[in-house]
Amino acid sequence: MEPTKKRIELLKEKTLIIRQYILKMSYFVEKGCKAHPGPALSISDILTALYFEYLNVFPDDPNNPGRDRLVLSKGHAYLALYAVLAEKGFFDKSLLLSVRREGSILQGHPDMNKVPGVDMTTGSLGNGLGTGVGMALAAKIDNRGYKTVVIIGDGESQEGVVWEAAECAVKYKLSNLVAIIDKNNFQGCGSIEKIMPGIKHKERWEAFGWNVIEIDGHDHKEILSSFEEIERNRNNPLCIIASTVKGRGLSFMENDNSWHQKTLTEDEYNKGCEELGMSCDKDI
């Protein structure tokens, strides 16, 4: 079924709110605790769509055993995850500006025991998929219908353990497992093409035996269609390769890798507020 225009409009509005939260967190983060806006903005559309259009989750009962699981393997996109979970009602939005500060539930990278709605502690790259394999296996053992979605960075895919997990998922025919590759073409120290050139993501995942689809990770229509593909997926795990732009939504951050981890100046923040059509005050 073609997603309705109304759903897409609502999703766009929701994602704009998420980007606004990300901008505020990136600016008002405690001095010295500099946050990671670039990698959060590239997954904002996908993550918002997942939580508001796909995942079966329960903000009032975050550990419900029947819930769908999401593992943010690229844990350095925590700003997006925290923003979406707060907007979804897992915890109070007023906590968002405490990100990375000592004593906050919103740790430097996601902590499953501190943040309601976080299904796995992440931050050390490459490790999310293996935990997702465990969750998907548990669903099969217990005959539960939940899905497990793991969001992996394209740079992160250089970690060898990703591929240990990838082949294991195929061995156990985990059609209830989804890997979403946030292909924003950058990693910490620069462009992926420069640091580890020539990677063919689609061919690689297919060679491992995964079902693969490619989408534009900022096109809501394509994102929603990919969710239908998750429902149709059979036999093998599904990989969704999402082409994205690092820093998406703020003109001065897009494809500028210096925003991988950086705090905004007041001028930059004001410009960002203008671009996202928001007031510059501290309230969330």
Partner 1 sequence: MIKTFESTREAFGETLVKLARKDKDIVAVAADTSKSMLTTLLEKEFPDRAIEVGIAEQNMMLVAAGLASCGKKVFATSYSVFTSMRAIEQFRTFIAYPGLNVKVIAGLGGFSAGIEGVTHLGLEDLGIIRCIPGVTLITAADSITASRAITGLSKMVGPAYLRIGRDPSPVVFSEEDEFEIGKARVVLDFGNDIVIFANGAVLHTAIEAAERLKKDGILVKIVEVHTLKPLDEEGIIRYAKECKSILTVEEHNIIGGLYSAVSELLSNKYPKRIEFIAVKDEFTESGLPDRLREKYGLSVSNIVEKSKSIYQKGM
120 binds partner 1 (CB under 8 A): yes
Angle, in degrees to the nearest 10, between helices 5-28 and 220-232: 110
- Backbone phi and psi for residue 160, each to the nearest 5 degrees, phi listed first: -60, -35
65 binds partner 1 (CB under 8 A): yes
With CB under 8 A as the contact rule, the residue among 45, 68, 87, 119 that binds partner 1 is 119
Q: Which of 72, 240, 237, 241 is nearest to 169 (CA)?
A: 237
Report in angstroms how near the CB of residue 162 gets to partner 1 at its nearest. Answer: 9
Q: Nearer Cβ to partner 1, position 8 or 168? A: 168
x/- mask, partner 1, residues 12-51, rule CB under 8 A, reads ----------------------------------------
DSSP state at residue 50: I
d(CA 264, CA 193): 27
124 binds partner 1 (CB under 8 A): yes
Q: Nearer Cβ to partner 1, position 113 or 279? A: 113
Q: Which of 180, 199, 214 is nearest to 42 (CA)?
A: 180
105 binds partner 1 (CB under 8 A): no
113 binds partner 1 (CB under 8 A): yes
With CB under 8 A as the contact rule, the residue among 86, 149, 165, 242 that binds partner 1 is 165
What phi-psi label fits residue 257: left (phi over 0), alpha (psi between -120 and 50 degrees) or beta?
Answer: alpha
Q: Within 13 A of 164's CA, how many CA atoms are on the CB side?
A: 9
167 binds partner 1 (CB under 8 A): yes
171 binds partner 1 (CB under 8 A): yes
133 binds partner 1 (CB under 8 A): yes
Contact 28, 98 (CB under 8 A): no
Pairing of strands 190-191, 186-187: antiparallel
84 binds partner 1 (CB under 8 A): no
Q: Rg of the chain's alpha carbons, rounded to an integer?
A: 18
With CB under 8 A as the contact rule, the residue among 15, 26, 98, 131 that binds partner 1 is 131
The first and second tokens of residue 202, run together, are: 């689609």
81 binds partner 1 (CB under 8 A): no
With CB under 8 A as the contact rule, the residue among 2, 6, 141, 232 that binds partner 1 is 141
102 binds partner 1 (CB under 8 A): no
Q: Nearer Cβ to partner 1, position 65 or 145? A: 65
DSSP state at residue 154: T
d(CA 101, CA 125): 22
- Backbone phi and psi for residue 3, each to the nearest 5 degrees, phi listed first: -60, 140
174 binds partner 1 (CB under 8 A): no
Among residue numbers 145 through 164, which ones bind partner 1 (CB under 8 A)?
Answer: 148, 160-161, 164
Look at residue 187 and give its three-state secondary structure: strand
**Interface contacts to partner 1, rule CB under 8 A:** 65, 69, 111-113, 119-121, 123-124, 127, 129-142, 148, 160-161, 164-165, 167-168, 171-172
